[in-house]
Structure 1
């Protein structure tokens, strides 16, 4: 998982005095709203890196045909209890086979790190009060899961017929059983 420092991020949103619907001049690493992208995609150079901010109430299908052209899709968590962006990330990876960067923004908390990774996020802009060290530690909390995810479709504990299960102590971490 890549942790993004907004002050050093090469991606930049595009807006102007008239708000977000300014006349767009294609520039590398532009981060456009869905509405801006739909208005600019026909004149956007194929080889120029572009990203889209997809609201969590938008349908991933709205981007399906454009995904090969997008280097970044940013999914927003308006509240930490609103998990629609998890579903969007999973759809991007599993159904649409999107291979570009998927980034989490908004109310991205340390507690969310394992699920962000499992659902297909590559990067995250942590909420300002969250600790980078704690977020990195959170990614190592669980060695295995009972369900598959976007990276490993088969659960870690699943074994081919005839293969023995690992000893129980292999599934114990930090003093508690998984």
Structure 2
């Protein structure tokens, strides 16, 4: 069983991430246990998957949050893939899910996730992190505290520093 960071704690994770088959067909969903399915599969099999109650959705970098829309509220977990350090589209997906669609459940980043990115992911609304296998998860968790104050507004702090100073 792998470990992930959820709400600043390192916890065991039994969730299985399913990918599309090589021919683009949908993977078979196991009968039991929590799973994350690709957005395309969720949209095609929504009724059956929602009935299970333990299914989450994962976004590829080129998926659009608008395709899930208000259905996001029905999911306990939404994950976003970061295939490479240089691919920042997932930051926007996370922020849109939180701000535009009001998603309040677990928002998980996976893929090329490590200490240097975690604080920025957190500021965009992510609260769970599947750290890259070749990185130390305890060390990566320390990245959440790399910075204590930010000038810009974020999902975590919607009021920019210059406004907070005038409120004090």
Using the size of structure 2 for normalisation, the TM-score is 0.81
Aligned counterpart in structure 2 of residue 124 of structure 1, from 110, 126, 129: 129
In 1, distance between residues paired with 2:50 and 2:87?
35
Higher Cα radius of gyration: 1
5+ unaligned residues in a row in structure 1: which ranges? Answer: 164-178
Task: Tell me, yes or no, if structure 1 residue 109 matches structure 2 residue 114.
Answer: yes
RMSD, matched Cα: 2.8
Instruction: Pick closer, same or farther for the CA change 1:122–1:44 going to 2, 3 Å.
Output: same
TM-aligned CA deviation for residue 116 of structure 1: 0.9
Instruction: Pick closer, same or farther for the CA change 1:115–1:17 going to 2, 3 Å.
Output: closer
Structure 2 matches for 1:1-178, cutoff 5 A? 1-2=5-6, 8-14=12-18, 21-22=26-27, 24=29, 27-46=32-51, 48-156=53-161, 158-159=163-164, 161=166, 163=168
In 1, distance between residues paired with 2:18 and 2:164?
49
Using the size of structure 1 for normalisation, the TM-score is 0.77
Size of the aligned set, in residue pairs, is: 161
Q: Is the 8 A contact 2:60 2:81 kept in 1?
A: yes
Q: Is the 8 A contact 2:57 2:77 kept in 1?
A: yes
**Offset from partner CA, 1:141-162 (integer Å, 9 cap, x none):** 2111011111220024533647
